[in-house]
Structure 1
Amino acid sequence: MELKQAFGAALKRIRKNKELTQEDFSQVSSRTYLSTLERGLKSPTLEKIEELASVLGVHPLTILTSCYLLQDQELSVEELFHRVRGELDPTLAN
């Protein structure tokens, strides 16, 4: 699965899990734009991811984590977090 498609699928999955409609995002996005994101036709900016996460009531990393887990279904949440922690630790030591 391509990254844009995985992001769209993750966004849609979280939105439906939260029982939100595309119209619920009208303060941050048009329904048409949200639809193009969910269909994997466009990639959002970091600012847009933050706005979408705010409407969803989740941290932006939740959407991104879900995206990467959908893209690589062999990967577990624990494995992904272990890798990220290992990559972050040296950068936080400074």
Structure 2
Amino acid sequence: MELLGRFGVGLRAARKSRGLTQEDFSTVSSRTYLSSLERGIKSPTISKIEDLATIIGVHPVTLLALAYLPSTVDGRSEMCSQISAEIHSLLQDMPANEDS
């Protein structure tokens, strides 16, 4: 399954896990657009991912992570460790008060 399809599957799973319907997103997108995201037909912008995450009640990175999530528990743990290590490494190279 390609990336857009995996994002859509993750978005649908997150939405359903919170007991939300597609209509619950009407303040940020149409039902048709949300359906096309969930079917992997359309690609969301970063701003749209943030809007969707807000409705679901998760961090926007969580929705992206679901698209890349390995199928095994060990794989998921390794992915989380890798992301944590990469962020830590990148932050070490950044000035403390850098806003951009």
> RMSD of aligned C-alpha atoms?
1.3
Aligned match of 1:87:
86
Letter matched to residue 76 of structure 2: V
Report the counterpart of residue 25 of structure 1 in structure 2: 25
Gaps of 5+ in 2: 95-100
Unaligned stretches of 5+ in structure 1? none
TM-score normalized with structure 1 length? 0.90
Structure with bigger gyration radius: 2
Task: Give a deviation string over 1:25-56, Cα, whole Å, max 9, x none.
Answer: 00000000000000000110000000000000
Pairs within 5 Å for 1:1-94: 1-69=1-69, 72-74=70-72, 76-93=75-92, 94=94
Secondary structure at the aligned position of 2:55 is classed as helix
CA separation in 2, counterparts of 1:61 and 1:77?
15
User: Percent identity between the aligned chains?
Assistant: 51
Moved over 4 A (4+): none
Higher relative contact order (CA 8 A, sep 6+): 1
SS at 1:53 equivalent: helix
